[in-house]
Structure 1
Amino acid sequence: MARRWLSYAICALIVQSLAACSEEPPVGNNAAPVVTEQENEASAMDRKLVVAFGDSLYAGYGVAQDESFPHELERILRAQGHAVEVRNAGVSGETTQGGLERLAFTLDGLPRKPDLVLLGLGGNDMLRGLDPEQSEKNLRAMLDILKARELPVMLTGMLAAPNMGKDYGRRFNAIYSELAADYGVPLYPFFLEGVIGNRKFMQSDSLHPNALGIDIVAEKIAPLVSRSLTAAR
C-alpha cells in the first residue's frame, strides 16, 4: 500500500510540474507572437482605405473575387510599398442613377473615412442608350456629395460603343473630361484601355475583361491611384 501511495505521489508531482510548465509563456524563436484585436484594428487604421465605387467592371463580373479589379489593384499597390486596402463597392448592372441612390449609404457604412474614392460609373447608361445629359447630372451629384464630405476622388471613364452613333458618342465621351476639369479630380480616361477588342483579355460577352485583362487594367491604373493617394496626404 505504501508503495502504491508513493507511486501516486510521484505521478501527482509530475502532473503538477507539467501543468506549471504549460502555464509559462513560450520563449525563444519558436514563440508565436500574440496579436490582440486592438492591434489588428490599429494595423487596419494605418492602411490607406480606397473605395472602388462602380459597376460590374469594379465588382468583378465573371471572375473570382480574388481576381476582381479592386483585389488586383490592392495587390499591385501593396507590392509597390503602399499600406492600402481597396474595398470593392461595385454592383453589377449599376447605372449612374443607381450609384447616386446608394452612394451616401455606402459611405456611411464604412468603418472610417476613405482616403480615396474611385468612381467608375456610366457604362451601363451608355449600353442602355440613356441620355448622356442625365448621366452627367448624376455623376455631378455624386461628385458634389464626395466634395461635401471632403473625400478625394479619382474618376475612371468610359467610351461609347461605336454602334451608339456619332452624336451619342460625342456627347457621352465628353462627360468624364469635363467633370475632371470642373471638379479638379484625376481621370483615367478609359477603363478598358488596352484590353477591349482583344479576345485574349476579354470574356465571351466582349464587354467584361477576364482575369488576364483585369491584371492589365489594374497595372495601368495603379500609377494614377498611387499619385492620388500621395497627393491626398
Structure 2
Amino acid sequence: MSDLRSPTRRVVLAAASLAGAAAFAGPVGAEDRPLRLVAFGDSLTAGYALPPGRGFAPRLEAALRKDGLHVDVIDAGVSGDTTDMGLARLEWSVPADADAVIVELGANDCLRGLPPAEARRNLDAIVARLRGRGQQVLVAGMLAPRNLGAAYVAAFDPIFAEVAAAHGASHYPFFLEGVAMNPDYTLPDGLHPSARGVEVIVERILPAVRDLLARARAARP
C-alpha cells in the first residue's frame, strides 16, 4: 500500500499541488515580474576594491527589497570608464528589456581633464538612446574637482541636470553626496567609497530611485 511517508508519493503529491496552484494562479502578468534596474556607470557603481556584495548595486537592491519593492538591480559598472567608453558599450551593457537605468558616468572624464563638451555629447547620446527605448532614466550628477579651475567647473557641473531635462529624465545632483572628501566613508585613495560610504550613497539616493521605479512600473504595458 502506498504511504504518504514514501519519497515517491511525496514527490507526486508535491508536483500535483504545484501544478494545481499554477493553474489557479494563471499566467504571470507584467505587474508580477520584478522590475529590472541597471546601474550603468564606472568604478563608483562597480564596487571598486570592495568585498563581493558590498558594492552599490547589491546594496541598493537590498535596500529596495527591504522596502518591499520587487526589483532586481543589475551591476553594469566598469572601473575606469569615461562617458565615451560607456557610450561605446551601451548596447551590450544595458539590456533592452530593462525597465530603468541609473546613469553614473563622468567622474573619469573630469579626473583626466577631458573637455566637458565631449562628456556632454556622450551623456546626451546615452540618455537619448535609453529614452528612445522607452526606459526610465536617472542621471546621477558629478562635480568637477575645483583645482581644475572655475571655467572647467562652470562647463562641467551643469551637464547632468541639463542632459536629464532635455530628455525627460530624472536627475540626482551629486552621486557622492555626503561621501566625497570624507575619510570616514572613502577608501585610502580618497576617491572611492568604502563599504560604509556605499551605505551612505544608497540611503541618500533611495528616494530618487523609488520615484524612478514608480514611473517605470506605471510605464509598463
Alignment match, 2:25: none
Q: Residue deviations 1:90-137, cap 9 Å, x none?
A: 000000000000001223xx3x61111110100000000000001100
Residues 214-225 of structure 1 mapped to structure 2, 5 A cutoff: 214-225=198-209
After the TM superposition, which parts of structure 1 deviate over 3 Å for at least 4 consecutive aligned residues? Answer: 42-45
CA contact (8 A) 2:139 2:161 kept: no
For residues 104 and 22 of structure 1, the distance between their equivalents in structure 2, rounded to whole angstroms, comes to 48
Alignment match, 2:189: 205
Alignment match, 1:57: 44
Give unmatched runs, 5+ long, in structure 1: 1-15
Alignment match, 2:155: 171
Deviation of 1:62 (Å): 1.2
Give 2:36's aligned amino acid. Answer: L
For residues 90 and 165 of structure 2, the distance between their equivalents in structure 1, rounded to whole angstroms, comes to 22
Alignment match, 2:76: 89
Residues 23-34 of structure 1 mapped to structure 2, 5 A cutoff: 23-25=8-10
Deviation of 1:22 (Å): 3.1
Alignment match, 1:131: 115
For residues 196 and 101 of structure 2, the distance between their equivalents in structure 1, rounded to whole angstroms, comes to 24
Q: Residue deviations 1:168-227, cap 9 Å, x none?
A: 111000101111221121111101100111111010111101000000000111111101
Q: Secondary structure at the match of 1:24?
A: helix
Residues 1-233 of structure 1 mapped to structure 2, 5 A cutoff: 21-25=6-10, 46-107=33-94, 110=95, 113-232=97-216, 233=218
**Judging changes above 3 Å, is the alpha-carbon distance between structure 1 residues 167 and 75 closer, same or farther for their aligned structure 2 residues?**
same
Deviation of 1:26 (Å): 6.4
Q: Number of aligned residue pairs: give it.
A: 209
Q: Residue deviations 1:18-68, cap 9 Å, x none?
A: 9x93321169xxx8xx989xx9xx699711100000000000001023000
Identical-residue share of aligned pairs (%): 41
Give unmatched runs, 5+ long, in structure 2: 23-27
For residues 145 and 182 of structure 1, the distance between their equivalents in structure 2, rounded to whole angstroms, comes to 13
Structure 1 length-normalised TM: 0.82
**Judging changes above 3 Å, is the alpha-carbon distance between structure 1 residues 43 and 83 closer, same or farther for their aligned structure 2 residues?**
farther
Shifted more, 85-94 versus 56-65: the winner is: 56-65
For residues 211 and 76 of structure 1, the distance between their equivalents in structure 2, rounded to whole angstroms, comes to 14
Give 2:38's aligned amino acid. Answer: V
Deviation of 1:17 (Å): 8.0
Structure 2 length-normalised TM: 0.86
Q: Secondary structure at the match of 1:67?
A: coil
**Judging changes above 3 Å, is the alpha-carbon distance between structure 1 residues 81 and 170 closer, same or farther for their aligned structure 2 residues?**
same
